[in-house]
Every structure is written in C-alpha cells, then in structure tokens.
Structure 1
Amino acid sequence: MTEPLATISDRIHQHIDRLTRAERQLAQAILENYPVSGLGPLAALAKDAEVSAPTVVRMIRKLGFEGYADFQRALRDEMKSKVEGPIAKHDTWTEGASSGHVLNRFTGAAIDNIRHTLAQVDPDEFDRACALIADTGHALYIVGGRVTHTLAEYLFLHLQMMRPGVTHIQSTSNAWPHYLLDLAEGDVFVIFDIRRYENNTLKLAEMAHRRGARIVLFTDQWRSPVNAYAEVCFGSRIVVPSAWDSAVTTLLLVESLIASAQDVNWSDRKQRMQQLEEMFDQTGLFRKFT
C-alpha cells in the first residue's frame, strides 16, 4: 500500500531536533497559523517570524522541499484536502483503487494510519492529556461535532464512571453557551473536530479559552483551527478508501487515554465504579446468569 504523505506539520515535528534556533523560531511561526502562514511571499513569512530569508530557504530544504514554491504547492494541496467532501474523497480512492477486496484495502489503510499517527504522538503529551482529564479538582467538558459526537459520547460514558464533574456538550445545540456560565478557570475541555471543521466548535473553543479553559483536541493530520487554543493536540490520520474519513485511529487514542486515566487514583475510581455496579444490580439493567 502507498504510504500517506507526511504533512508539513509532520515534517516540522520530525525535524525539530535538527533545526537551528532561528529555524525553530520560523517553524513555530508557521505552526501558529498553519497552514495559511506559509501561503504568502517568502519575504513576508521571514518578516513575520523575525528571521532572514536565507533561514527560510534553509529550513524549507531541510524539510525535503526543493524550494519555497515546492513548499507552497504542498501547503495548497493540504488546504484542498482539508475541505474535501465525501464525493471528492470517494473519487480520489476509486481512481487508484487496487483489485484487492475492500476489507483488505481498508484494513491496510487503517493500519498505516495508526502506525503513522503513533509515530507522531509524544508520550509526555499523552501523559499530560491523561493528567488533565483525570484531575477531579477541575470540571471536565467533552464536546464533538456532527459526526464526532459519537466519539465524544463514548469518552464521556467511560469517564463519567471514573470521576465526578464530567459534562457532555452537544456543539450543535443552541444551549451550549449556557455551560460556559459555570466554567471556572482551569476547567478542561476535550474537543473533537475533524476536517470540514465546524464553526460552532471553533466558537465554543474560543469562548472557553478566553474564560481560562484548558483544551485537549482530537483532530486530523491537517489540524482543526481549534489547535490554536489547544494545550494538547492529537492529530490522527483519517484517510481510507472510502467517501468518509476513518475514526479508527482517533478511537484507539481515546481508548488508550481511558485505559491510562482509570489507573490514576485507582482506589477512588474502584470505589466509584463499585457503587455504580450496585446501582445497576438494583435496577436490573443487566442480565445475570447465576
């Protein structure tokens, strides 16, 4: 299977340890308003980053591009990919589809997505996200979009069993501003936002950030605009041979986060979960084979 091309953001993170101080300053300037930051003239990018034009050229070549024009073409291709709808995604895959069964092709793409995503995940950042969602000293809000609300609800149901103070917000609802009334500085938002990024989700992130919320973002390899406000960001690869994007890698990260969070203050978690099981027994919710 053809390996997915690394985004420019991926390349920057892969090379960050080999960049000079000025080049790192430039890289940070690009990432702060990615990907539009690199679409203007070379001189404008150098001025915004407060580096020299030769520094821009050197870093672009370190990232594997022949020159600035090649770099900008890659950025434009990324922007085009960001806004693709289901029909365009389907046409992209059917043009180059192999003769193998869809199960094999889809699984191969999903495995590649997992492998490339995990290569980009910083274990320290993962642990920081886990600490944020496990901290019962602050309220936790979880929000998804039109499709990703299913991932948000999945995470909510598990965390609600482990800790108090968890709220699931529907981003498409006119009622979500009401939740911000009770938001305290340091409270945590977990936000899901995949390409065809939703305006409601971005506005919610902006308002929560202004009120002092700390944001953990689950997004794709191109990164939602919410990334500008996120303290921790997980950019999963999502492209598969389908008209729709894959949630497999994002779900893997979510379930790994759940598994890690359950072990934080396990004695407290265990007591809460035991109380919940007793309530389940009283309601007869689950069938008992005894």
Structure 2
Amino acid sequence: MAEQTQTISDRIQQKLDELTRAERQLALSILENYPASGLGPLSSLAKDANVSVPTVARMVQKLGYKGYPDFQAELREELRAKAKDPISKHDTWAESAPSGHLLNRFTDAVIENIRLTLGQIDPEAFDAACAMVANQDSHLFIVGGRITHTLADYLFMHMQVIRPHLTHVDTGSNTWPHYLLNVQKGDVFVIFDIRRYENNTLKLAELAHARGARIVLFTDQWRSPVHHLAEICLSCRIIAPSAWDSSTTILLLVETMISSVQSLNWSGTKQRMEALEDMFDQTKLFRKFT
C-alpha cells in the first residue's frame, strides 16, 4: 500500500479554525502526544482531553473518517510508516511503482513533497526560526544524525561565514555531552532528525532543553520525538521511490534559511565574506582567471 502523503496531524491543523471550542480542545490534546494519544479506546481519549464521547465522534467525522476505528487504523499505518527500514521502503515502492523512467517518478515524488510541505509550513514560524538562527547574542549549535549530518554540515559551513559563535555537534561521537557544558539559557539548537529517529539526538535535545536552550527542529511529516521539546518544528515530506528517504525538501528549507539569515545579518556577513575572500587569495585555494 502506498504511503499516505497527508498525516492525521496535517488534517487536524488544517481543520482547527473550523472546530468548536470542545473539538479544538480535543484536537490540541491529540497533537500534544501524537500519534500515541489516539491509539487507546475512544472513551480514554475523551477523558484525557476532558471532553465528551460525542465530541470525539464528531471531530473524527470532520477529519473525514467514517468513525473512530477508521481514524485509529490510519494512525497505526502512520506508526508503521515511521518505523520502516530501507528494505521495507524499497518494497513498498517496488509493489506500487507506476510506469515510466525512475527519473520522472523520482522527480514527481520530490515535487509533490515540496508542494505538500510548503502548503503546511507557517511562514511566520519559519521567519521566527530564521531570526533565532540569526541572533548573534545566542550561541548556535547545529546537530545532525547518521544521515542528516550532511544537512547539518551544509548549514554549519554557511553559518560559519554568516555569523560567529556557533558549534557543530556530532551525535555519532561519544563525546557529544561535552558540548553541553557550554550551553547557556537562550542558546539555539538547530536539530535534524527524520524517521528511524535517533536516541542520541533525543537525549541531546532533552539535556539542552533542560539547560534553557531553544530548539528549531527539521523533521519529517511524522515528526521526531524531539518536536515535543522544539520551539519551532519544520516538518518536511520525505517519501521517494527509493529504499532511502529524500532530503530535497529539507535542503530547500535549509537553503532558504541560509538566504534569510544572510540578509538579516548582511552588514556583518559582508565583512566576514570579504575577510574570508582575502584569506582565500592568500592561500591560493581557488584558481583565478582574471
């Protein structure tokens, strides 16, 4: 069966403005511990949200489900999708792959990922995340995982040019707790974590949060457990016809963030760029043709 491109969380967020006060209270309760909150009996969900059983039934129907069992069935599918390993991902696509060259199929999937991601990203939240990253009064920590370290490397390299006071944290090393010794209240962590979410990344986020750090999270449509700690969560679609997830949409947001932070800090960034170019000239790192 093909993976769902829209999660129940997406549906809830899209419908929030149409819900009654009690239904909104229920929706926010579901999102607070999503997706586990919806896996128990209907009566337990109603009790946890302090609403009536009929309120749960009405909201589930507003989300497009015939009833609570259908709602739960899709939640379970989401949990299975979150836990998929590369072989399972490949088999899913191999079974349902449409005709046509892989270049076209992969491109179509990526374009759909971008369309769906941009459709649900809050521009104000994104701008706020960029402002947090640009704030030079706070130390910036950038954290990636086994696969996402390449995205963290990319962001870190650009931020080195744009601003001072930043650190790249390698959670693959057993020395990563050392970095937390210097964390001050108000420091900013940009964390990358997509499905097969990493225990080290979650533990680092918990310890950083406990020390008063603010977290910007880049994650997938199912959302890393770190989202419970994040001040801003940027969820991206990552499904592709491959044994591996696609990072294209995350990279799009990262490059947009780089552009925004560069503009916010342009005066200082320009000086740093000029100094860096002078060092490049002295070291003859790059060829010149003029």
Same fold, TM-score > 0.5, yes or no? yes
**Take 2:257 and 2:128, find their aligned partners in 1: how far apart are those partners?**
10
**Take 1:48 and 1:41, find their aligned partners in 2: how far apart are those partners?**
11
Q: Paired residue for 2:130? A: 130
Amino acid at match of 1:38: G
Deviations 1:82-134 (A, max 9, x none): 01011111110011112200000000000000000000000000000000000
**Take 2:160 and 2:53, find their aligned partners in 1: how far apart are those partners?**
52
User: Normalising to structure 1: TM-score of the pair?
Assistant: 0.98
Task: Tell me the percent identity.
Answer: 67
Q: Paired residue for 1:200? A: 200
**Residue aligned with 1:262, SS:** helix
Deviations 1:252-285 (A, max 9, x none): 0100111111100311111111111111111111
Name the CA shift for 1:173/1:3 in 2 (closer, same or farther; >3 Å). closer
> After TM superposition, what 4+ stretches of structure 1 lie above 3 angstroms from structure 2?
2-5
Task: State the shift of 1:5 in Å.
Answer: 3.3
Q: Which runs of 5+ in 1 are unaligned?
A: none
**Residue aligned with 1:219, SS:** strand
Q: Paired residue for 2:219? A: 219
Amino acid at match of 1:167: T
Moved more, 15-24 or 206-215: 15-24
Q: Paired residue for 2:269? A: 269
Task: State the shift of 1:168 in Å.
Answer: 0.5
Task: State the shift of 1:3 in Å.
Answer: 9.4
Q: Paired residue for 2:162? A: 162
Amino acid at match of 1:162: I
Deviations 1:11-61 (A, max 9, x none): 011111111222111111111111111101111111111111111111111
Amino acid at match of 1:51: V
Q: Paired residue for 2:184? A: 184
Q: Which runs of 5+ in 2 are unaligned?
A: none
Contact 1:140 1:165 in 2 (8 A): yes
Contact 1:195 1:220 in 2 (8 A): yes
Amino acid at match of 1:242: S
Q: Paired residue for 2:115? A: 115
Moved more, 34-43 or 21-30: 21-30
Task: State the shift of 1:4 in Å.
Answer: 4.7
**Take 1:278 and 1:127, find their aligned partners in 2: how far apart are those partners?**
32
Task: State the shift of 1:9 in Å.
Answer: 0.6
**Take 1:73 and 1:4, find their aligned partners in 2: how far apart are those partners?**
12
Residue 38 (1) aligns with residue 38 (2): yes
User: Normalising to structure 2: TM-score of the pair?
Assistant: 0.98
**CA RMSD for the aligned pairs?**
1.1
**Take 1:35 and 1:153, find their aligned partners in 2: how far apart are those partners?**
31
**Residue aligned with 1:51, SS:** coil
Q: Paired residue for 2:95? A: 95
Task: State the shift of 1:190 in Å.
Answer: 0.4
**Take 2:241 and 2:20, find their aligned partners in 1: how far apart are those partners?**
39
Residue 68 (1) aligns with residue 65 (2): no
Amino acid at match of 1:47: K
Amino acid at match of 2:117: T
Name the CA shift for 1:3/1:32 in 2 (closer, same or farther; >3 Å). closer
Contact 1:184 1:212 in 2 (8 A): yes
**Take 1:132 and 1:76, find their aligned partners in 2: how far apart are those partners?**
35
Amino acid at match of 1:204: L
Amino acid at match of 1:149: H
Amino acid at match of 2:41: P
Task: State the shift of 1:64 in Å.
Answer: 0.7
Contact 1:3 1:112 in 2 (8 A): no
**Take 1:24 and 1:235, find their aligned partners in 2: how far apart are those partners?**
21
Q: Paired residue for 1:26? A: 26
**Residue aligned with 1:153, SS:** helix
